[in-house]
Amino acid sequence: MQDIDQPISKVINYLREIGAFQGSPVHEKTVTSMKPVIFPQAEWDEYYMTYPYWDDVTREFHKNEFDSIDSKLRRTSYDDVQEQATRDIPDSNNTVIIELGSAYGNKGAGYLAQFKPNARVILISKGWKEDNPPRFLFIEPPKPMHRLVFKQGQDLLNEPDLEKRTNALYKLNGINNVTFYEHELTLDEASENLPFFLRDLKGKEIYLFGHHLPGVLPFLMGKLYDTLNARYMCVSPTAQEKVEPDQFSWEIIQKNLGLNDEELEGLITSTFDPKAKAVKGSFSDKYDYENPAQKRIGLMIKLGVALALAKEINGAVLRNEINPFGYNKIDYYVEAKRF
Checking if the pLDDT of 35 tops 80, the result is no
Checking if the pLDDT of 160 tops 60, the result is yes
Binned at pLDDT 50, 70 and 90, residue 53 comes out as low
Q: Which residues pair with 45 in a beta bridge?
A: 48
What does DSSP say about strands 120-125 and 178-182: parallel, antiparallel, or unpaired?
Answer: parallel
Domain extent, residue 333, equals 75-337
Q: What is the mean pLDDT of residues 142-166?
A: 90
Does residue 5 belong to any structural domain of this protein?
no
Collapsed DSSP state (helix, strand, coil) of residue 251: helix
Cα–Cα distance measured from residue 194 to residue 323, given in angstroms and rounded to the nearest whole number: 37
Single-letter amino acid code for the residue at 251:
E
Cα–Cα distance measured from residue 207 to residue 121, given in angstroms and rounded to the nearest whole number: 10
Cα–Cα distance measured from residue 139 to residue 58, given in angstroms and rounded to the nearest whole number: 55
Does residue 91 belong to any structural domain of this protein?
yes
Does residue 256 belong to any structural domain of this protein?
yes
Does residue 34 belong to any structural domain of this protein?
no
pLDDT digits (tens, 9 = 90+) for 212-221: 999 999 999 9
Cα–Cα distance measured from residue 272 to residue 250, given in angstroms and rounded to the nearest whole number: 11
CATH of the domain at 313: 3.40.50
Binned at pLDDT 50, 70 and 90, residue 34 comes out as low
pTM for the whole thing?
0.90
pLDDT digits (tens, 9 = 90+) for 122-134: 999 987 777 777 8
Q: What is the mean pLDDT of residues 35-47?
A: 53
Domain count, the chain: 1
Q: How far is CA 119 from the centre of its chain?
A: 26
Does residue 271 belong to any structural domain of this protein?
yes
What does DSSP say about strands 332-337 and 316-320: parallel, antiparallel, or unpaired?
Answer: antiparallel
Q: Write out the H or E segment, with its range, that includes residue 168.
A: helix 162-172
pLDDT digits (tens, 9 = 90+) for 77-109: 999 999 999 999 999 999 999 999 988 999 899
Checking if the pLDDT of 70 tops 80, the result is yes
Backbone Cα Rg of the chain: 24
Checking if the pLDDT of 21 tops 60, the result is yes
Q: What is the mean pLDDT of residues 11-31?
A: 90
